[in-house]
Amino acid sequence: MNRNEKVLIAGGSSGMGLALARSLLADGAAVVIAGRSAARLAQARAALADVGDARTIAADITREDDVVRLFEECGAVDHIVSTAADIGGAYELLPALDLAAARKVVDSKFIGPLLLAKHGKARLAPAGSIVFTSGIAAYRPAPRGSVVAGVNGALESLAYALAVELAPIRVNVVSPGWVDTPIWQQVAGDEARAKLEAMAQKLPVGRIGQAADIADGIRFLMRNGFVTGSVLHLDGGHRLV
Ligand SMILES: NC(=O)c1ccc[n+]([C@@H]2O[C@H](COP(=O)([O-])OP(=O)(O)OC[C@H]3O[C@@H](n4cnc5c(N)ncnc54)[C@H](OP(=O)(O)O)[C@@H]3O)[C@@H](O)[C@H]2O)c1
For residue 168, is the peptide bond before it cis, meaning its omega torsion is within 30 degrees of 0?
Answer: yes
Per-residue pLDDT of the chain (241 residues; tens, 9 = 90+): 456 899 999 999 999 999 999 999 999 999 999 999 999 999 999 999 999 999 999 999 999 999 999 999 999 999 999 999 999 899 999 999 999 999 999 999 999 999 999 999 999 999 999 999 999 999 999 999 999 999 999 999 999 999 999 999 999 999 999 999 999 998 899 999 999 999 999 999 999 999 999 999 999 999 999 999 999 999 999 999 9
- Among the options 134, 146, 175, 230, which is catalytic? 134
Ligand 1 centroid from CA 88, angstroms? 10
> Which residue ranges have their beta carbon within 6 Å of ligand 1?
10-11, 13-17, 34-37, 40, 60-62, 83-87, 108-109, 112, 133, 135-136, 176, 178-179, 181-183
Pairwise CA distance, residues 152 & 63, whole Å: 20
For residue 136, give the nearest of 15, 236, 204, 215 by alpha carbon: 236
Of 235, 237, 193, whose CA–CA distance to 217 is shortest?
235
CB-based burial label for 2 (10 Å; 0-12, 13-18, 19+): exposed
pTM of the model: 0.98
Q: Write down the pLDDT at residue 4.
A: 83
**CA–centroid distance, residue 82 to ligand 1 (Å):** 9
pLDDT tens by residue, 155-167:
999 999 999 999 9
Contact between 107 and 36 (Cβ < 8 Å): no
Residue in 3, 12, 2 with CA at minimum distance from that of residue 215: 12
Rounded distance between C-alpha atoms, residue 135 and residue 84, angstroms: 12
Phi, psi of 63 (to 5 degrees): -110, 125
Q: Is 14 a catalytic residue?
A: no
Residue 135 Cα to ligand 1 middle (Å): 11
Residue 190 phi/psi, 5-degree rounding, is -65, -20
Ligand 1 atom nearest 186 alpha carbon:
20
CA–CA gap between residue 134 and residue 146 (Å, rounded)? 14
Mutate to test the pocket of ligand 1, among 14, 41, 185, 239 (most ligand atoms within 8 A of CB): 14
* Nearest-angstrom CA–CA distance, 11 and 5: 19
Query: How many other CB atoms are found less than 10 A from the CB of residue 37?
Result: 13
3-class DSSP assignment, residue 82: strand
Distance 15 CA to ligand 1 centre (A): 7
CB 63 within 8 A of CB 36: no
Instruction: Write the residue with the smallest CA distance to atom 16 of ligand 1.
Output: 15
| Helix axes 64-74 and 112-120, enclosed angle (nearest 10) | 40
